[in-house]
């Protein structure tokens, strides 16, 4: 790794901005520096927003839908051709195993293609004004119009795909974007900018500001020319942003401690395989990662017998190795945090069935049992390769336990009884429920977003486009 040195800089009006202040970017698996970020200043943020506003007024808001669609389609084609370049950089900067990186890039290409289609399907409607007294000989209709400048803040765990969930619908709707990516994963964003540049996106329609959110985030989300803020990340930061941007449109995609419920009549082989896949992919660093597994008591031992051997077979190691299935967490500090949570749970009576050890930034895939609702590994978001398995005796009990949380993003329910499945799905306080699959599953065209402290608003291309437009009414008096 010592010969790999990359850099990332802010890009404003098509120009790279290299300031004196830098941040080191490290390979999570070894902690070795692989490059630096040139940090933006608040003056740079001001320039980026002003430039984005100018380009919106001069170009983007009047660009025909077919042109926006063509740009997005070309970007998808370019990204698909260069996917392996992105996959390697994801492994270096995020510690993402190659197989997981390839999965992210496939989704990212699909996001662009959904947005390309969505750009040509932004509809209003005719409104029957003669339904109202006095509305005779009048015509009314609505249309969706772009907002202007969208500020986007994205996390480290899916740096390409989650950035595109904000960039692509913004472009589809005719907006411009100022993006602040995670400082731990900046290099894929630089590659992504080049993709849009080559696809023909006008200079300044996408501006990027690099650096720490604590230093430049407030200016980004409070600027009067920013009309919408869209954020994916931690709950405390997200709700603080919501306060700062109180008079703007805001979308928050925040955390979860996803419940997955398995009834005794479920296909336990399929459920166990899905739990392992959904709980440990990318070391559990996904907001919808399986965390709390509730299993009907009569099936508890049978499920455990399936889970433990499957978890023990997971290949843990260097994300640059093709065979690796579980790589490091994003930093050693993150791994130490979760190691402490495991130790605290054990001290409070929990049992580690497998895993539980840390080596540097790598935490072994871990299954905990005999847990209590008050333990952090149950009630808080672990964001790590840990699942807790909890027996239950009846439907009402498990619904109460699953809902006993401030969080509510997605859930999973496994049963062969459709009545049970739909009844439980209706009762769960989450933004989405999968039946006979895990909470971790997400397609890029579904409405995706949480309730309670897991966020506000919806992503998914169609739904993001709608929220990145205003519905404007036009009335005509037919003289």
SS3 label, residue 194:
helix
Main-chain dihedrals φ then ψ at residue 468, nearest 5 degrees: -100, 20
- Residue 327 CA to residue 315 CA, distance in Å, equals 9
379 belongs to the catalytic site: no
CA 385 to chain centre: 17
Contact 390, 292 (CB under 8 A): yes
Element spanning 83, H or E: helix 83-94
For 82, the token pair is: 């260069």
Main-chain dihedrals φ then ψ at residue 136, nearest 5 degrees: -65, 145
Give Cβ neighbours of residue 373 (< 8 Å, ≥ 6 apart): 379, 401, 404
- Residue 233 CA to residue 212 CA, distance in Å, equals 13
- Residue 204 CA to residue 59 CA, distance in Å, equals 10
Q: Write the Ramachandran bin of 421: left for phi over 0, alpha for psi from -120 to 50, otherwise beta.
A: alpha
Which residue out of 104, 183, 287, 296 is catalytically annotated?
Answer: 287
Main-chain dihedrals φ then ψ at residue 450, nearest 5 degrees: -105, 175
287 belongs to the catalytic site: yes
Main-chain dihedrals φ then ψ at residue 394, nearest 5 degrees: -150, 165
Which residue out of 253, 332, 339, 381 is catalytically annotated?
Answer: 253
SS3 label, residue 434:
strand
- Residue 414 CA to residue 438 CA, distance in Å, equals 8
SS3 label, residue 254:
coil
Per DSSP, the residues of 263-275 read: -TTS-HHHHHHHH
SS3 label, residue 71:
helix
- Residue 90 CA to residue 465 CA, distance in Å, equals 27
Angle between helices 187-199 and 159-173 (to 10 degrees): 30
Give Cβ neighbours of residue 251 (< 8 Å, ≥ 6 apart): 228, 229, 230, 231, 449, 455, 456, 457, 458, 459, 464, 467
Contact 11, 193 (CB under 8 A): yes
**Active-site annotation, residues:** 253, 287
């Amino acid at each position: 790794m010592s010969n790999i040195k990359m850099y990332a800089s802010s890009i404003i009006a098509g120009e790279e901005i290299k300031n004196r202040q830098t941040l080191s970017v490290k390979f999570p698996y070894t902690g070795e520096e692989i490059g630096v970020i040139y940090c933006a200043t608040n003056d740079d943020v001001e320039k980026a927003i002003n430039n984005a506003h100018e380009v919106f007024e001069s170009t983007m808001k009047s660009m025909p839908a077919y042109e926006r669609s063509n740009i997005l389609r070309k970007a998808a084609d370019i990204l698909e051709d260069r996917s392996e370049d992105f996959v390697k950089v994801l492994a270096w900067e995020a510690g993402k195993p190659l197989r997981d990186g390839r999965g992210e890039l496939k989704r990212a290409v699909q996001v662009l293609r959904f947005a390309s289609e969505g750009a040509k399907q932004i509809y209003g409607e005719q409104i029957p004004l003669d339904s109202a007294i006095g509305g005779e000989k009048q015509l009314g209709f609505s249309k969706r119009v772009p907002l202007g400048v969208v500020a986007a803040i994205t996390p480290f765990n899916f740096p390409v795909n989650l950035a595109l969930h904000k960039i692509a619908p913004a472009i589809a709707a005719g907006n411009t974007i100022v993006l602040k990516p995670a400082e731990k994963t900046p290099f894929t964003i630089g590659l992504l900018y080049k993709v849009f540049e080559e696809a023909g996106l006008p200079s300044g329609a996408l501006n990027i500001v690099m650096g720490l959110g604590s230093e430049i985030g407030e200016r980004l989300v409070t600027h009067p020319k920013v009309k919408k803020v869209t954020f994916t990340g931690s709950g405390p930061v997200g709700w603080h942003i919501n306060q700062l941007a109180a008079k703007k449109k805001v979308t928050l995609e925040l955390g979860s401690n996803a419940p997955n419920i398995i009834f005794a009549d479920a296909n336990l082989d399929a459920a166990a395989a899905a739990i392992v896949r959904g709980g440990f992919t990318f070391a559990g660093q996904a907001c919808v990662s399986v965390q709390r597994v509730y299993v009907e008591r009569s099936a508890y031992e049978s499920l455990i017998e399936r889970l433990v051997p499957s978890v023990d077979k997971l290949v843990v190691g260097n994300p640059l190795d093709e065979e690796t299935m579980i790589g490091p967490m994003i930093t050693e500090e993150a791994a130490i945090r979760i190691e402490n949570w495991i130790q605290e749970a054990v001290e409070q009576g929990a049992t580690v069935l497998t895993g539980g050890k840390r080596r540097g930034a790598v935490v072994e895939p871990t299954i905990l049992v005999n847990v209590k609702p008050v333990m952090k590994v149950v009630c808080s978001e672990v964001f790590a390769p840990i699942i807790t398995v909890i027996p239950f005796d009846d439907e009402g009990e498990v619904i109460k336990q699953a809902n006993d949380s401030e969080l509510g993003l997605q859930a999973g329910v496994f049963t062969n009884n459709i009545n049970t499945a739909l009844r439980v799905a209706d009762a769960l306080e989450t933004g989405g429920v999968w039946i006979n699959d895990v909470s971790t599953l997400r397609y890029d065209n579904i409405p995706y977003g949480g309730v309670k402290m897991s966020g506000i608003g919806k992503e998914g291309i169609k739904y993001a486009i709608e929220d990145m437009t205003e519905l404007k009414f036009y009335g005509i008096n037919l003289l």
